[in-house]
Structure 1
Amino acid sequence: MDQSSPEHYPIADFIKWNNEKELVLNPSFQRGPVWTTTARTYLIDTILHGYPIPKVLMRTHIDRTSHRIFREVVDGQQRLRTIIDFAAGKFKLGVRSKSYRGANYSALPGELQDKFLAYKITAEQLINASDTDVLEVFARINSYAVPVNAAELRNAKFDTEFSWSVQEKSRKWTELWDLGILGKRDQVRMIGYSLVAEMYSVLLQGVTDGGEDKVTRLYERKKSGFPEQNEIEERVDRILEVMFERVVPGLANEPIVKRPQALMIFAAMAHAEFGLPPGDLGDQLPQHGENLEGSVDRFISNLTYLNEVLKAEEPPRKLERFYTASKSSTQRIASRRERFKVFSDALLRDSME
């Protein structure tokens, strides 16, 4: 088996090969077309905005008699099928394309059609490879792959208003995550999606026991609809805006703003601003205090003190439980209950020292 170096072909070439029956989109080892309209829309929108998409892998057969080359798609057939179907006018773009919602290919301006046809897809060719060769390639690719985590599995499984809302909100607040809440590697692995989903959960259900299983159950419950979407998104933006502009910058990259603490800081601020459901706290839910406007300055001062507590070798006696809760399993309700209580106090008290 020979393998080509990566080459870059314009979309127009793939359409031409398909029209001339030199492109095989559904070989025996590939799945049939299963992408939803939402996923198809997102791919086309990505191309129209000029962002890169994953490369495709093709098995190339050279026919000596007809002097033709036949390309069998080993990996990427759903991407190519979506592109070819869009060019043929077989579907319109859905809500996941904010700029081109409702448009089919013919409705695009001429210059955008040209941009679409000229967009280059990276492809590698397995020349005259046997089925055994192809299966060996798959095996080797998979042997090097990093196992997917729960957030990545949810991203692949759920195509709902809730899941798209979580994705878009996480991407919107990347600059906040960069202040030390999430590392770049975690963001690439979609941990930001998990964090935002838990923020949604706090607003919908209150402070509860955590963990990826609980997040997945929330996605399951929201499969049929997300009627609270506008209100939840507005409330998340309100709290994260205050965190980004006032609370976190002076404590960037400190222990007090890492992901587990950031979630409970968010919860305390949301409770002060809007009030939260009891969740797993029941009658231990702290009193709903004044709104954030009058609390942020003292909150920042108290968080600065709590950050020093977290960095100390031995905490003050009155904050021993907070210190221990911050070092233990931070997803469990016992830990969250204690930290939520302390952060709520930090919003109300002039000084925690």
Structure 2
Amino acid sequence: MDQSSPEHYPIADFIKWHAQKELELNPSFQRGPVWTDPAKSYLIDTILQGYPIPKVLMRTHIERSSHRIFREVVDGQQRLRTIIDFAADKFKLGARSKEFRGLNYSSLSHEMQDRFLAYKITAEQLINATDTDVLEVFARINSYTVPVNAAELRNATYDNEFSWSVQELSRKWTDLWDLGVLTKRDQVRMLGHSLVAEMYWILLNGVSDGGEPKIDRMYDRKRKEFIEKEEIEHQTNWVLDLMQGQVFPAVKGEPIVKRPQALMIFAALAHSRFGLEPGDVGDADMPARTENTLERLPLFVSNLTYLNEVLRSEEPPRELTSFYGHSKSSTQRIASRKDRFRVFCMALESSLES
């Protein structure tokens, strides 16, 4: 097999090859056209906005007698099919393309049509490759692929109002994650999606056991509709704005702001401002709501600084032994979350150092 270096072709070339029957989109080792309409809209919007998309692999055959080149798409046929169908006005862009929602190719301005046609796709050509060669390429690519985690799998599985909302807020609050909540690697692996989804769960259902199966169930429940979307996004943004602007800068990068603690800090602030359902905490153990949340932020930040010192210590104060232990152990179980939620709610009420 002769393998070329990557080449960059404008979309107009792929459209021309398809029209001239020099591009085969569905060889035997590719899946059929199964993309949903929202997924198609998101791809086209990505192109119109000028963001990169993954490269495609093509098996290239040179026909000496006709002087023609024929290309079979080894990987990327759903992307190319979507692009070619859009250029042929076969669908309009949906909600995932906010700026271009409701438009097809012909409805775009001439400038945007030109941008679309000129957009370059990176293609790796496998010249005169046999089926065995192609399967070997797939095997070698997959041998270096990191297995998908639960958040990445949900991102690939769910394509609806709920999943879009989670994605958008996760991207919106990267500056907050960078204060020590999530590492850049965590963000690349979409753990910000899991964190936002759990925040949604808390606002909808209260503090409860955590874990990926619980998040999966919520995604499944919201598969068809997310009627609370506007209210939940408003409440989440309100609390996260508070955390980013006034709470976390004083303890940036410290153990007290890492994901497990950040989630319970979010819960305490949300409960203070909006009131939470008892959830798995239970009515009897649910902390009382604190009035005047904004006025109590200086006290709250002071208490977080103190709690961070406790987490860094080798022997915690007797009254915070449970908080210390639960912060070091399984932070997803309700026993841990319930205790830490209680302490963070107390941190809005009075000084913990006394």
Aligned equivalents of 2:274, 2:294: Cα separation in 1: 12
Give the secondary structure class of the aligned counterpart of 1:53: coil
Deviations 1:7-58 (A, max 9, x none): 1000000000000000000001111111111111111111111100000000
Amino acid at match of 1:248: F
Aligned equivalents of 1:161, 1:100: Cα separation in 2: 17
Aligned residue for 1:201?
201
Where do 1:137-156 residues align within 5 Å? 137-156=137-156
> How far did 1:349 drift?
1.0
Aligned residue for 1:301?
302
> How far did 1:351 drift?
4.3
- The number of residues matched between the two structures is 353
CA RMSD of aligned residues (A): 0.7
> How far did 1:350 drift?
3.7
Aligned equivalents of 2:303, 2:118: Cα separation in 1: 56
Aligned residue for 2:327?
326
> How far did 1:224 drift?
1.7
Amino acid at match of 1:134: V
Aligned equivalents of 1:37, 1:126: Cα separation in 2: 30
Instruction: Kindly report structure 1 stretches of 4+ aligned residues shifted beyond 4 Å.
Output: none
Q: Which runs of 5+ in 2 are unaligned?
A: none
Aligned equivalents of 1:334, 1:306: Cα separation in 2: 19
Aligned equivalents of 1:299, 1:197: Cα separation in 2: 25
Aligned residue for 2:82?
82
Deviations 1:72-103 (A, max 9, x none): 00000000001111111111100111111111
Does the CA contact (< 8 Å) of 1:346 and 1:352 recur in 2?
no
Aligned equivalents of 1:251, 1:71: Cα separation in 2: 56
Aligned equivalents of 1:293, 1:249: Cα separation in 2: 16
Aligned residue for 1:187?
187
Aligned residue for 1:260?
260
Aligned residue for 2:64?
64
- Out of 238-247 and 279-288, give the one that drifted further: 279-288
Aligned residue for 1:163?
163
Where do 1:232-311 residues align within 5 Å? 232-283=232-283, 284-311=285-312
Amino acid at match of 2:173: W
Amino acid at match of 1:44: I
Aligned residue for 1:178?
178
Give the secondary structure class of the aligned counterpart of 1:295: helix
Give the secondary structure class of the aligned counterpart of 1:62: strand
Aligned equivalents of 1:60, 1:292: Cα separation in 2: 64
Amino acid at match of 1:122: T
Aligned equivalents of 1:212, 1:351: Cα separation in 2: 33
Percentage of matched positions with identical amino acids: 72
Aligned equivalents of 2:343, 2:235: Cα separation in 1: 22
Aligned equivalents of 1:73, 1:154: Cα separation in 2: 26
Where do 1:28-43 residues align within 5 Å? 28-43=28-43
Does the CA contact (< 8 Å) of 1:298 and 1:351 recur in 2?
no
Amino acid at match of 2:353: M
Where do 1:55-134 residues align within 5 Å? 55-134=55-134
Deviations 1:179-230 (A, max 9, x none): 1100000000000000000000000010000001110011011112110000
Q: What's the TM-score, normalizing by structure 1?
A: 0.99
Does the CA contact (< 8 Å) of 1:302 and 1:352 recur in 2?
yes
Aligned residue for 1:338?
339
Aligned equivalents of 2:48, 2:349: Cα separation in 1: 49
Give the secondary structure class of the aligned counterpart of 1:348: coil
Amino acid at match of 1:107: S
> How far did 1:65 drift?
1.3
Deviations 1:249-289 (A, max 9, x none): 11110000000000000000000000001100112111122
Aligned residue for 1:213?
213
Q: Which runs of 5+ in 1 are unaligned?
A: none
Deviations 1:222-242 (A, max 9, x none): 112110000000000000000
